[in-house]
């Protein structure tokens, strides 16, 4: 049976680890051909080795790319076109935690590095992928990884949160420009996802963070991968300029003044509060 992404050519940045790697393997299962891009060569090549072990021998390749450098992003797009003949999908997912600490002690160097890896990269990816997609004249899908940290406070450092908010804004604005060319531009805002970026090899230390959302399962890379496949597929052909939260209800839960979920006394028993009407 044909997959959701049958014969589409995709680039996935940050494909050497975490949700990027899971998305590479899922896109391959859905029939895509995938150029894995990452600054970490060992991990990127390991993703391709995993793909081969899963029987996707000729449909995955690796290119080393620093997504913050324009010449390298242009070369990444050219490598995908050279290897697979065209470009249908670009998932701009690579990222780091970036600068953290009090605002009074955040360095310009740390701030600029964070914005280079998280925002300049998305601008460069959109620029070069859209040029290629317009050349091939068969539409396309550009997806980025934002974060719930770009939507509300309290989820990331100052620099990280501001950078992810910029990704959401860029997604809306570029989507309107590219829509006439049938190139869709969307983003995913993950909640708390168990990847090396978050747990650094020790997931057991982050149980409290993994339990923050109302959904009882831990967020995993595969939860991002399946939504990414939908957003990049023709099933989502009328969806553009959108940022989709994939967070197990984390933001739906909101500020939880009365306590989250079952701890909320308003949810314990049915009734009506008539306010100051005098009715009991």
Residues acting as catalytic residues: 160
Length in residues, the chain:
280
Q: Determine the Cα–Cα distance for residues 95 and 118; give it in Å rounded to an integer.
A: 6
- Listed residue (207, 220, 228, 229) closest to 247, CA to CA: 220
Q: Which residues pair with 143 in a beta bridge?
A: 91, 186
Q: Determine the Cα–Cα distance for residues 44 and 63; give it in Å rounded to an integer.
A: 8
Please report how close the Cβ of residue 76 comes to ligand NAD at its closest, in angstroms: 9
Q: Under DSSP, is residue 227 helix (H, G, I), strand (E, B) or coil?
A: helix
Please report how close the Cβ of residue 148 comes to ligand NAD at its closest, in angstroms: 7
User: Residue 54, CB half-sphere, CA atoms under 13 Å: how many?
Assistant: 18
Q: Determine the Cα–Cα distance for residues 187 and 62; give it in Å rounded to an integer.
A: 23
- The residue to which tokens 């553009």 are assigned: 240
Q: Which is nearer to ligand NAD, 147 or 213 (CB)?
A: 147
Q: Determine the Cα–Cα distance for residues 243 and 144; give it in Å rounded to an integer.
A: 9
Q: Which is nearer to ligand NAD, 58 or 204 (CB)?
A: 204
Q: Which is nearer to ligand NAD, 200 or 237 (CB)?
A: 200
Tell me how many helices (H) and strands (E) the chain has.
Answer: 9, 7
* Positions that interact with ligand NAD (CB under 6 A): 13-14, 16-20, 38-40, 43, 65-68, 93-96, 117, 145, 147, 190, 192-193, 195-198
Please report how close the Cβ of residue 86 comes to ligand NAD at its closest, in angstroms: 22
Q: Which is nearer to ligand NAD, 190 or 248 (CB)?
A: 190
Contact indicator for 50, 227 with CB cutoff of 8 Å: no
Please report how close the Cβ of residue 1 comes to ligand NAD at its closest, in angstroms: 29
Q: Determine the Cα–Cα distance for residues 156 and 236; give it in Å rounded to an integer.
A: 29
Please report how close the Cβ of residue 266 comes to ligand NAD at its closest, in angstroms: 29
Q: Which is nearer to ligand NAD, 124 or 141 (CB)?
A: 124
């Amino acid at each position: 049976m044909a997959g959701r992404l049958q014969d589409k050519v995709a680039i996935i940045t940050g494909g050497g680890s975490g949700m990027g790697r899971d998305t590479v393997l899922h896109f391959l299962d859905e029939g895509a051909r995938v150029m894995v891009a990452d600054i970490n060569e060992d991990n990127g090549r390991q993703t391709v080795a995993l793909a081969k072990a899963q029987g996707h021998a000729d449909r995955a390749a690796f290119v080393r790319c620093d997504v913050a450098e324009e010449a390298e992003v242009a070369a990444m797009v050219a490598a995908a076109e050279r290897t697979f003949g065209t470009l249908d999908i670009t998932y701009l997912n690579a990222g780091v935690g970036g600068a953290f600490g009090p605002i009074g002690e955040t360095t310009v160097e740390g701030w600029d590095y964070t914005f280079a890896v998280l925002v300049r990269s998305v601008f460069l990816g959109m620029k070069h992928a859209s040029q290629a997609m317009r050349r091939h004249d068969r539409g396309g899908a550009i997806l980025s990884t934002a974060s719930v940290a770009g939507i509300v406070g309290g989820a990331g450092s100052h620099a990280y949160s501001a950078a992810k908010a910029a990704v959401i804004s860029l997604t809306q604005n570029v989507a309107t420009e590219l829509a006439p060319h049938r190139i869709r531009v969307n983003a995913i805002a993950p909640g708390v996802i168990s990847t090396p970026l978050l747990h650094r090899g020790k997931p057991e230390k982050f149980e409290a963070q993994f339990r923050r959302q109302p959904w009882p399962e831990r967020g995993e890379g595969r939860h991002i991968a399946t939504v990414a496949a939908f957003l990049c597929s023709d099933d989502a052909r009328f969806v553009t300029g959108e940022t989709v939260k994939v967070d197990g209800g984390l933001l739906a839960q909101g500020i939880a003044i009365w306590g989250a979920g079952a701890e909320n006394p308003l949810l314990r028993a049915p009734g009506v509060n008539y306010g100051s009407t005098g009715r009991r």
